[in-house]
Amino acid sequence: MRDTRRLERYDSSVNQYTLAIITDEDHASQVELDDGQVAWSSTLRYDRLFRHAPDASGQARFGFEEIPAEQGGEHQLISLVSEGGRGAEFSELVLFGSRLVTFDDRTGLVCEIRDENKLIPRQILMTGSGDERFKGFKSEWATLYGDQLVIGSHGKKPEEEWVKILEGDYGLASVDWSERYQRMREALGVGDHGYVIHEAAEWHPYRREWLFFPRKVSSQPFDEAIDETECGSNLLVIANEDFSDIRTLTVGTCYPDRGVSSFKILPGHPNECVALKSVEVGERTESYLFCFNLDGEVLQEDLFIGDYKCEGVEIL
């Protein structure tokens, strides 16, 4: 199965990984090409993650190093596809077999990334069931489940409670996950008036559990100003395979203006994860990287990595 092979690409002796990180810069993604054509751009960066052997406390520690742009550490991805004047708002990265795949949360495009900066469209996902209206699916999280790729959205609105399932040949199915999203809201205790915004999830094939790390959790109705500054979450949701049993785990300190936008289980160390946090407050955007384990311990505190919004991380 692809999900287990992904975690077994490296064994426990590996102490250096290459990360791919992709940006979603919303309105700022629009650019003009040399020929005057309007297009949309996203930054794909590569960085190094170092895992240091457990110290006296028994916990591993991590280090982070940027690869300079002149050494191939930064590339621009150009898309000519838009919806409502917006595009290239890539919100996740996943290795689907040997293919690095990304998802535009504005247009619904699913693209392979080849040769470090070439986008190859492979599928277009439509909102909700796919039959409701001509609007791209707001892809926010994606994970391997067996040999399939499961792509989900915020879960805040009914049309965002559907998931898309892609086969290896990019064959597509839409599945209603409204009951599963509701069970997670209940586990987080937001009540009838609150909401949860999901942007980060992983299926753990060894534990046979779904791991969701909500970006925002609120027991009050949505208010943009409050959402931006007060609703960031540090609660990891852990559900069994059919979501009949769900629990939450507190991970480190909660920073109310920061929320998890992507995370991945570390190959060779399936109890450890690397993750991104994003900040959007007015015009201010920031991104942070941190590492944690599935016992709720932080292994690398939030590390500032850029004053733009990164929403996808993958371990290459």
Give tens-digit pLDDT for 194-221: 999 999 999 999 999 999 999 999 999 9
What pLDDT was estimated at residue 54?
Answer: 83
pLDDT, tens digit, for every residue of 239-279? Answer: 999 999 999 999 999 999 999 999 999 999 999 999 999 99
Average pLDDT, integer, range 36-44:
94
Backbone angles phi, psi at 222, to 5 degrees: -65, 130
What pLDDT was estimated at residue 9?
Answer: 96
Backbone angles phi, psi at 10, to 5 degrees: -130, 150
Q: How confident is the model at residue 160 (pLDDT cuts 50, 70, 90)?
A: very high
What pLDDT was estimated at residue 58?
Answer: 80
Of residues 57 and 86, more confidence is placed in 86
Domain that holds residue 64: 2-315
Q: How confident is the model at residue 59 (pLDDT cuts 50, 70, 90)?
A: confident
What's the predicted TM-score (pTM) here? 0.96
> Would you say 163 and 221 are in contact if contact means Cβ atoms under 8 Å apart?
no
Average pLDDT, the chain: 96
What pLDDT was estimated at residue 24?
Answer: 85
Furthest-apart CA atoms within the chain: distance in Å: 59
Average pLDDT, integer, range 102-108:
97
Tokens for 268?
């060779």
- The total domain count for the chain is 1
What pLDDT was estimated at residue 155?
Answer: 98
Average pLDDT, integer, range 160-166:
98
CATH number at residue 58: 2.120.10.100
What pLDDT was estimated at residue 35?
Answer: 92
pLDDT, tens digit, for every residue of 173-191? Answer: 999 999 999 999 999 999 9
Instruction: Report d(CA 237, CA 200) in Å as an integer.
Output: 11
Instruction: Report d(CA 313, CA 42) in Å as an integer.
Output: 14
> Would you say 292 and 272 are in contact if contact means Cβ atoms under 8 Å apart?
yes
Of residues 55 and 199, more confidence is placed in 199
Q: How confident is the model at residue 128 (pLDDT cuts 50, 70, 90)?
A: very high
The proportion of the chain whose per-residue pLDDT surpasses 90, expressed as a percent, equals 93
Is residue 57 predicted with pLDDT exceeding 80? no
> Would you say 66 and 47 are in contact if contact means Cβ atoms under 8 Å apart?
yes
Instruction: Report d(CA 315, CA 46) in Å as an integer.
Output: 10
Handedness of CA 303, 307, 310, 314 (dihedral sign): negative
Instruction: Report d(CA 46, CA 31) in Å as an integer.
Output: 22
DSSP 8-state symbol, 83: B
